[in-house]
A = this chain, B = another copy of it.
């Protein structure tokens, strides 16, 4: 079978990069033609990632726009923030579609980007051109994207869990508190003391409390939904596991409702969107139940005594929080079924 489009992956030796490879190898319409990593160029990608032996042994390419232009139709940039924005203008100018996993194009405000990311922002034109790829919510815009900005891992779990309740005016936007927990792969393959094995194992660590760069991204999305500036309280924690994000979210109900009502409304909202699964009453999702897959599972608890709802949302940060959603967005951009190449059952146990 001849594949329909050719893809290059820049930053292919990070966890997002190798997860793109894992999924794209099973994608019936996409062929990976270039894996790019300036630090290890010339070497087979399977040297640093022996799990790819016999599976995918392409030699790593230098970052060279001309080469990429010849080899690919679409480029995934899975580079650190601050790096993507140096490459993407040239990639776009070369006529390539770009799906950026870095975070550089998520915030519409260059000022906010600079404040939270401490890098020089991309140009205003590119910021405005970029389409924010929360697949289930912005499907129509995504279909037209040339530059797709893939959402952050925490924002994906949080936004998918909150948007239906906000859009149905079930909860008070000013009351939102997000207690987020992530496995270590979210920090990438870059070494650091916080993800040194002996420091994280048998440990649970809050970090960047009220300071995480995903705060403005979530606020931007939720503000758009409710049409007013929304501010959240957001705590992040490192959990001694590799994959998985759980957002436990709290909000005041605007008027009393029960869990089954909410469940029904969420199921309506996500009708026809196969990667969001709403749990039955009394059942809450755990991270392992989506591990290795593109699912986002959401559950609820309402406490009548306090008038608050607790919304629990889990994803695999490397899949729905990165590579999987990027491919889901590519599918939408190409007019394909959004599940193409992504129908992987969670790996359990």
List chain A positions with a Cβ less than 8 A from chain B: 15, 18, 21-22, 25-26, 49-56, 177, 179, 181, 183-185, 187, 189, 191-193, 195-207, 209-211, 231-233, 235, 237, 239-244, 246, 248, 250, 274, 277, 279, 283-293, 295, 297, 299, 301-303, 305-306, 308, 310, 312, 314, 318, 343, 345-349
Instruction: Give the docked Cα–Cα distance between A9 and B207 (Å).
Output: 31
Partner among B232, B240, B310 whose Cβ is within 8 Å of the Cβ of A209: B310
Please give, as numbers and ranges, the residues of chain B lying within 8 Å of A203 by CB-CB distance: 241, 244, 286-288
Partner among B53, B192, B239 whose Cβ is within 8 Å of the Cβ of A277: B53
Instruction: Give the docked Cα–Cα distance between A189 and B53 (Å).
Output: 31
Contact of A197 with B204 at beta-carbon distance under 8 Å, contacts A248-B235, A306-B232, A345-B25 already known: no
> Are B231 and A237 touching (Cβ within 8 A)?
no
The winner among A26, A235, A297, A347 for most chain B CB atoms within 10 A is: A347
What residue in chain B is nearest A305 (Cβ atoms)? B231
**Number of copies of this kind of chain in the complex:** 4
Please give, as numbers and ranges, the residues of chain B lying within 8 Å of A248 by CB-CB distance: 179, 206, 235, 237
Instruction: Give the docked Cα–Cα distance between A21 and B197 (Å).
Output: 22
Please give, as numbers and ranges, the residues of chain B lying within 8 Å of A181 by CB-CB distance: 181, 204, 237
Instruction: Give the docked Cα–Cα distance between A314 and B206 (Å).
Output: 11
Instruction: Give the docked Cα–Cα distance between A53 and B279 (Å).
Output: 9
What residue in chain B is nearest A211 (Cβ atoms)? B301
> Are A283 and B233 touching (Cβ within 8 A)?
no
> Are B237 and A246 touching (Cβ within 8 A)?
yes
9 more CB-based (< 8 A) A-B contacts, given A21-B345, A203-B244, A203-B287: A15-B198, A26-B345, A54-B295, A181-B237, A185-B349, A204-B287, A210-B301, A233-B306, A318-B349
Q: List 22 A-B residue pairs with CB atoms under 8 Å apart, sorted by A's residue number.
A: A22-B348, A50-B283, A50-B289, A51-B348, A53-B279, A53-B297, A54-B295, A177-B250, A179-B235, A181-B181, A189-B198, A189-B199, A191-B196, A197-B240, A201-B201, A202-B291, A203-B244, A206-B248, A207-B284, A231-B306, A235-B301, A243-B349
Please give, as numbers and ranges, the residues of chain B lying within 8 Å of A240 by CB-CB distance: 197, 201, 239-241
Contact of A244 with B204 at beta-carbon distance under 8 Å, contacts A54-B277, A195-B198, A233-B250 already known: yes
Instruction: Give the docked Cα–Cα distance between A310 and B232 (Å).
Output: 12
What residue in chain B is nearest A241 (Cβ atoms)? B202
* Nearest chain B CB to A223 CB, angstrom units: 13
What residue in chain B is nearest A343 (Cβ atoms)? B26
Contact of A233 with B310 at beta-carbon distance under 8 Å, contacts A50-B289, A206-B286, A250-B250 already known: yes
What residue in chain B is nearest A209 (Cβ atoms)? B301
> Are B201 and A202 touching (Cβ within 8 A)?
yes
State the 5 A-B residue pairs at the shortest beta-carbon distance, nearest first: A203-B288, A205-B286, A51-B346, A179-B179, A209-B301
* Nearest chain B CB to A28 CB, angstrom units: 12
Please give, as numbers and ranges, the residues of chain B lying within 8 Å of A314 by CB-CB distance: 204
Instruction: Give the docked Cα–Cα distance between A80 and B293 (Å).
Output: 29
Instruction: Give the docked Cα–Cα distance between A201 and B184 (Å).
Output: 10
> Are B191 and A193 touching (Cβ within 8 A)?
yes
Instruction: Give the docked Cα–Cα distance between A25 and B293 (Å).
Output: 14
